[in-house]
C-alpha cells in the first residue's frame, strides 16, 4: 500500500488532471449535467428542496451532506438576507451555511428605474450642465464671431448649423417650424427698398393688422359691457390679441433684417455681414436668451441698468422697463410672484422713516421689511414718485451698491430652482415603473433630458420612449440609429426592458455578486488584521461597490487595477501572480468548453471569477437571467465544489489520511481563529495528528482548547502555501505511524455527522461563538 504522502502527491501534483478525471467519471458527469440543466427551472425554495437530486448535490458541494435531512433548517438558511448581519445564516458560527446561502438567490432581483449610482450620476450631470451653461454660451459666441466674419453669402450662413442656430436663438425663431425661403428673403432685404422681400411680404401684414386692431377698438368703444354684448366683446378682444401677435412677428423679422448686411443677391463681402454693433447686439440677445442667468448675462444686465438709470426721472419710468424692474427685484431678494411692479412702486414712494407706522413698508413689509427699506434707501424718489430738482434717481454709490447686490444674488433663483428640481426628481423616480411613467412625469422627464443636454421641448416623447427601450448590446437597435451619444448615455442611465418596464440594472456584476465579492475581500484582508485593517477593507469595498456599477466592459474592468486587485484578493489570488494578458484570456474563455483557457487552470477560483461577471462573448455587459435562483457563479462554484468533495471522498476510500490531507490543504487558507479548527472535526483531527495530541484533549474547556491550538499552531502560517505543504508532509508521516496497526479513526471523522473527540458541552459552546469575517 502506498504511503499517505505518496498517495496525496499523486493527486495534488497535478490537481487539474485529478479534478478533470473525477469530473468525467460517469456518475459525477451525469449528476453535474442534471444539475446544470435543471437548477435554472427552479423558482422557489420549496421547489428546490423538493428535488432531492438537486438539493442533495448542492448540500454535498458545500460540505453539508450531513444536513440533507434537515430541510426546515436549510430553508431558513436559504431564506436569509445576507445583507442583514442578524439574519439566520449570518448568525450561525459555521461559515459553510453562509457560503451555501450566498450561492443562491431566491429573492427577486430588485427592479428599479435607476440604481443609486445612476441617480447620483444623473444629478451630477444636471448640475454640471447647469453650471456649464455660461461656458457653452461663451464657446458658441466665440465660434459665431469668428465664422460670421468669413461668411460671404447667405446660403453659406444658413447651411452652417451652428451659425443658423445661434441666429435663431438670438432672434427668437423656431428652428423646427421656420421657412428657409422666408428667412433667406428677410436676410437679403434692403429695408429702404419698397420692393424688397420684407417690405412686400411683411409690411402689408403689419398694415392690415394695425387696421384690424383699429377697427376692433372702434367697435369695442361702441359696445356696452353687458351680457348681450359679452360674446362679441370677447371676439373683438381675441382679434386684437391675434393682430398684435402678427405685428410682433413682423417686428421680429424687421429686427433680423436690420441685424445683417447681405446684398439682395445673397452675397456679402467677408467681414461685412455684421458690423461691430450688430454683432454685439446679436451676442447680447443670444446670451440673454438662455433661461438661466449666467455670469455673462448678469454683467449685461448690470451694464444695461447702469446705462439707463441716469436718465430715469420717475418711479413709473423705472418700473415700466421690465429689464430694470427684474434687476432691482433680484438685487434685493424680491424676485417672487407676490412682488409685482406696483409693489415696487409703493416701496419706492413709501416713507423712508422706520418710525412711521403708517408707511407702506411698515404696513405691508412683513418678513421682507428689511429688504423693502434697503430698496427704498437705494433710490432718491420723492413720495409722489418724482425727483426733487437737482436729484438723480441714484448716486454713484447707490448704483454700485445695487450692482454689487445684484451680482451676489442673480443666480439665487436658478440655484433654488435646481435644488427643487433635484428634490422632485429624487422623490418621483422611485415611482417610475414604465417608460410611459417616465415620459408622463415632467419632473422626471424634463430633468433627465436636461441632464444629458437634450431639450424636452424639442425632442419627441416617442423618440425618448424608443431610446429607453433600446438594447444597448445590439448595434442595430434604435438608439444607435440616432447617431447621437447623448441618447446612448440617456439609455444607459435607466433600466427599462424592451417592453418599457423597469428591470434589474444591467451591471457587470449583479448586486448580489458585488456583496459576495465584497464580503470575501473584507474577510481576506481582515483575517488576522487590526480594526484599522478591517475599516480600510470596508472602505475599499464601498469603492468597489460604486465603481462596479459603472463598468461596461471587460476592458474597462481590467483598466482599473484597483478593481482588479480587489477581485483577485477576494478570491485569495495574489495580484502579482497574474498579468493583464492572462486575465484577458480568462475572461475570453468559454466556461462550457473543457479546453478553454480558464478550464485549464487548476485553481477553480478563476472559473468562479469569470462566472461572477455578466460579460458576453464580446466582453460587453449583458443582462443576466434574473429569473434563475442561482447565478452563473453559483452554478459553477457548486459543481466545482462537488467535484472536489468527490475527489477527496474517493481518495478517502483507499486512505482516509489522504482525504484529511486534501481537506486540510483546501481549508487551511480559510481558517481565521482557533475556534475554526475546534469546530471542524476533520481539521481538529489533522491538528491532533500534527502535534501528537490524545483524543482526550477534546474534553477540555473550549477556551482552554483554543489556547492550546494557538500555542501549537501559528494561524498566520496557514496563509503560506509552503508552510501548509510542510505541515501536510509532517501530517502524512505521523498519520501513517499512528495507523499502521490500528483501526482507522480518521475514517469515522470524515464520514460521521458526529463530533468525535469533542464533548456535547464543547459543541454547545462553539455554537454560541462567532469566528469573525
CA distance 474 to 244: 52
CA distance 39 to 271: 75
**pLDDT tens by residue, 39-48:** 989 988 999 9
| 3-state DSSP of 69-131 | CCHHHHHHHHCCCCCCCCCHHHHCCCHHHHHHHHCCCCCCCCCCCCCHHHHHHHHHHHHHHHH
**pLDDT score for 626:** 57
**pLDDT tens by residue, 633-673:** 999 999 999 999 999 999 999 999 999 999 999 999 989 89
The helix or strand, by DSSP H or E, that contains position 66, with its residue range, turns out to be none
Evaluate whether 63 touches 670 at the Cβ level (below 8 Å): no
Greater pLDDT, 710 or 745: 710
The percentage of residues in the chain with a pLDDT greater than 70, rounded to a whole number, is 95
| 3-state DSSP of 657-720 | HHHHHHHHHHHHHHCCCHHHHHHCHHHHHHHHHHCCCCHHHHHCCHHHHHHHHHHHCCHHHHHC
| Domain 295-410: CATH superfamily, name plus number | AGR C 984p-like (1.10.3700.10)
Evaluate whether 166 touches 286 at the Cβ level (below 8 Å): yes
For cell 490500528, the residue is 742
CA distance 514 to 82: 12
**Segments of the chain assigned to CATH 1.10.3700.10:** 4-62+635-767, 295-410
The percentage of residues in the chain with a pLDDT greater than 90, rounded to a whole number, is 78
CA distance 706 to 693: 14
CA distance 409 to 333: 7
For cell 461668411, the residue is 151
**pLDDT score for 754:** 39
Closest listed residue to residue 394, CA positions, set 379, 381, 384, 373: 379
Banded pLDDT at 450 (limits 50, 70, 90): very high
**pLDDT tens by residue, 264-320:** 999 998 889 999 999 999 999 999 998 889 899 999 999 999 999 999 999 999 999
135-144 contacts at long range (C-beta below 8 A, 24 or more positions apart) = 137/286, 137/287, 137/290, 137/294, 137/296, 138/296, 140/166, 140/286, 141/166, 141/283, 141/286, 141/287, 144/282, 144/283, 144/286
Q: What is the mean pLDDT of the chain?
A: 90
pTM: 0.68
Greater pLDDT, 411 or 109: 411
CA distance 653 to 672: 30
Residue 273, classified by CB atoms within 10 Å of its CB into exposed (0-12), middle (13-18) or buried (19+), is buried
| Domain 4-62+635-767: CATH superfamily, name plus number | AGR C 984p-like (1.10.3700.10)
Evaluate whether 283 touches 296 at the Cβ level (below 8 Å): no
**pLDDT score for 60:** 95
| 3-state DSSP of 580-630 | HHHHHHHHCCCCCCCCCCHHHCCCCHHHHHHHCCCECCCCEECCCCCCCCC
- Joined grid coordinates for residue 412: 439665487
Banded pLDDT at 111 (limits 50, 70, 90): confident
**pLDDT score for 768:** 42
Question: Residue 219, Cβ neighbours under 10 Å: how many?
Answer: 14
- Joined grid coordinates for residue 561: 487595477
Banded pLDDT at 742 (limits 50, 70, 90): very low
Output Rg (C-alpha) for the chain, integer angstroms.
40
**pLDDT score for 622:** 85
**pLDDT tens by residue, 57-79:** 999 999 999 999 999 999 999 99
Residue 579, classified by CB atoms within 10 Å of its CB into exposed (0-12), middle (13-18) or buried (19+), is exposed
SS3 760: helix
**pLDDT score for 627:** 55
**pLDDT tens by residue, 311-363:** 999 999 999 999 999 999 999 999 988 999 999 999 999 999 999 999 999 99
pLDDT at 131 over 70: yes
CA distance 209 to 213: 6
Banded pLDDT at 722 (limits 50, 70, 90): very high
Banded pLDDT at 506 (limits 50, 70, 90): confident
First to last CA, the chain: 42
Q: What are phi and psi of 82, to 5 degrees?
A: -70, -10
DSSP-derived letter for residue 233 is: H
Q: What are phi and psi of 501, to 5 degrees?
A: -105, 145
Amino acid at each position: 500500500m502506498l504511503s499517505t504522502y505518496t498517495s496525496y502527491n499523486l493527486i495534488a501534483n497535478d490537481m487539474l488532471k485529478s479534478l478533470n478525471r473525477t469530473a468525467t467519471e460517469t456518475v459525477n458527469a451525469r449528476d453535474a449535467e442534471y444539475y446544470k440543466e435543471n437548477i435554472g427551472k427552479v423558482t422557489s425554495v420549496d421547489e428546490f428542496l423538493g428535488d432531492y437530486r438537486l438539493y442533495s448535490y448542492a448540500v454535498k458541494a458545500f460540505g453539508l451532506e450531513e444536513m440533507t435531512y434537515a430541510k426546515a433548517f436549510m430553508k431558513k438558511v436559504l431564506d436569509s438576507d445576507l445583507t442583514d448581519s442578524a439574519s439566520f445564516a449570518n448568525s450561525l458560527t459555521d461559515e459553510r451555511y453562509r457560503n451555501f446561502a450566498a450561492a443562491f438567490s431566491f429573492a427577486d432581483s430588485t427592479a428599479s428605474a435607476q440604481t443609486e449610482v445612476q441617480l447620483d450620476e444623473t444629478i451630477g450631470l444636471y448640475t454640471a450642465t447647469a453650471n456649464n451653461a455660461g461656458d457653452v454660451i461663451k464657446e458658441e459666441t466665440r465660434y459665431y464671431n469668428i465664422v460670421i466674419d468669413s461668411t460671404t453669402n447667405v446660403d453659406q450662413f444658413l447651411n452652417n448649423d451652428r451659425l443658423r442656430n445661434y441666429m435663431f436663438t438670438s432672434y427668437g425663431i423656431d428652428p423646427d417650424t421656420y421657412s428657409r425661403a422666408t428667412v433667406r428673403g428677410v436676410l437679403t432685404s434692403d429695408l429702404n427698398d419698397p420692393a424688397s422681400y420684407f417690405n412686400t411680404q411683411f409690411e402689408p401684414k403689419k398694415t392690415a393688422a394695425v387696421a384690424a386692431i383699429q377697427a376692433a377698438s372702434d367697435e369695442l368703444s361702441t359696445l356696452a359691457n353687458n351680457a348681450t354684448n359679452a360674446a362679441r366683446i370677447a371676439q373683438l378682444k381675441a382679434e386684437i390679441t391675434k393682430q398684435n401677435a402678427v405685428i410682433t412677428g413682423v417686428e421680429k423679422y424687421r429686427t433680423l433684417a436690420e441685424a445683417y448686411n447681405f446684398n439682395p443677391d445673397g452675397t456679402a463681402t467677408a467681414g461685412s455681414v455684421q458690423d461691430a454693433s450688430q454683432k454685439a447686439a446679436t451676442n447680447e440677445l443670444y446670451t440673454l436668451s438662455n433661461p438661466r442667468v449666467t455670469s455673462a448675462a448678469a454683467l449685461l444686465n448690470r451694464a444695461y441698468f447702469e446705462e439707463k438709470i441716469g436718465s430715469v426721472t420717475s418711479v413709473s419710468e423705472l418700473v415700466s422697463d421690465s429689464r430694470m424692474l427684474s434687476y432691482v427685484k433680484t438685487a434685493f431678494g424680491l424676485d417672487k410672484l407676490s412682488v409685482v411692479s406696483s409693489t415696487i412702486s409703493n416701496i419706492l414712494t413709501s416713507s423712508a422713516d422706520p418710525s412711521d407706522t403708517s408707511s407702506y413698508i411698515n404696513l405691508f413689509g412683513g418678513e421682507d421689511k428689511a429688504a423693502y427699506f434697503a430698496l427704498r434707501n437705494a433710490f432718491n424718489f420723492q413720495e409722489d414718485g418724482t425727483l426733487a430738482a437737482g436729484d438723480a434717481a441714484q448716486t454713484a454709490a447707490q448704483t454700485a451698491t445695487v450692482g454689487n447686490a445684484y451680482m451676489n444674488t442673480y443666480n439665487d433663483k436658478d440655484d433654488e430652482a435646481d435644488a427643487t428640481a433635484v428634490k422632485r426628481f429624487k422623490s418621483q423616480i422611485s415611482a417610475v415603473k414604465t417608460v410611459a411613467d417616465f415620459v408622463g412625469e415632467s419632473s422626471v422627464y424634463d430633468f433627465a433630458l436636461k441632464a444629458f443636454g437634450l431639450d424636452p421641448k424639442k425632442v419627441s416623447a416617442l423618440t425618448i420612449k424608443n431610446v429607453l427601450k433600446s438594447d444597448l448590446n445590439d448595434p442595430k437597435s434604435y438608439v444607435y440609429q440616432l447617431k447621437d451619444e447623448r441618447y446612448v448615455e440617456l439609455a444607459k442611465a435607466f433600466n427599462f426592458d424592451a417592453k418599457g418596464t423597469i428591470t434589474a440594472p444591467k451591471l457587470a456584476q449583479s448586486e448580489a455578486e458585488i456583496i459576495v465579492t465584497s464580503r470575501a475581500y473584507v474577510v481576506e484582508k481582515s483575517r488576522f488584521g487590526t480594526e484599522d485593517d478591517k475599516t480600510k477593507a470596508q472602505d475599499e469595498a464601498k469603492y468597489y461597490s460604486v465603481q462596479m456599477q459603472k463598468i461596461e466592459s471587460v476592458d474597462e474592468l481590467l483598466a482599473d487595477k484597483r478593481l482588479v486587485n480587489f477581485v483577485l484578493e477576494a478570491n485569495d489570488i495574489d495580484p502579482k501572480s497574474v498579468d493583464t494578458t492572462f486575465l484577458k484570456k480568462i475572461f475570453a474563455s468559454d466556461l462550457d468548453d473543457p479546453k478553454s483557457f480558464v478550464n485549464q487552470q487548476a485553481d477553480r477560483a478563476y472559473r468562479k471569477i469569470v462566472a461572477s461577471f455578466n460579460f458576453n462573448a464580446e466582453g460587453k455587459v449583458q443582462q443576466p437571467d434574473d429569473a434563475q435562483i442561482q447565478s452563473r457563479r453559483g452554478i459553477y462554484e457548486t459543481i466545482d465544489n462537488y467535484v472536489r468533495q468527490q475527489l477527496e471522498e474517493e481518495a478517502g476510500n483507499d486512505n482516509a489520511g489522504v482525504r484529511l490531507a486534501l481537506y486540510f490543504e483546501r481549508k487551511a487558507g480559510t481558517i481565521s481563529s482557533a475556534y475554526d479548527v475546534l469546530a471542524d472535526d476533520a481539521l481538529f483531527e489533522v491538528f491532533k495528528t500534527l502535534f501528537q495530541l490524545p483524543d482526550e484533549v477534546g474534553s477540555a474547556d473550549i477556551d482552554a482548547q483554543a489556547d492550546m491550538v494557538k500555542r501549537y499552531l501559528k494561524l498566520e502560517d496557514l496563509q503560506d502555501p509552503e508552510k501548509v505543504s510542510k505541515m501536510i508532509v509532517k501530517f502524512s508521516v505521523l498519520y501513517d505511524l499512528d495507523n499502521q496497526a490500528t483501526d482507522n479513526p480518521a475514517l469515522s471523522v470524515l464520514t460521521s455527522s458526529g463530533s468525535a473527540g469533542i464533548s456535547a458541552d464543547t459543541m454547545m459552546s462553539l455554537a454560541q461563538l462567532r469566528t469573525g469575517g
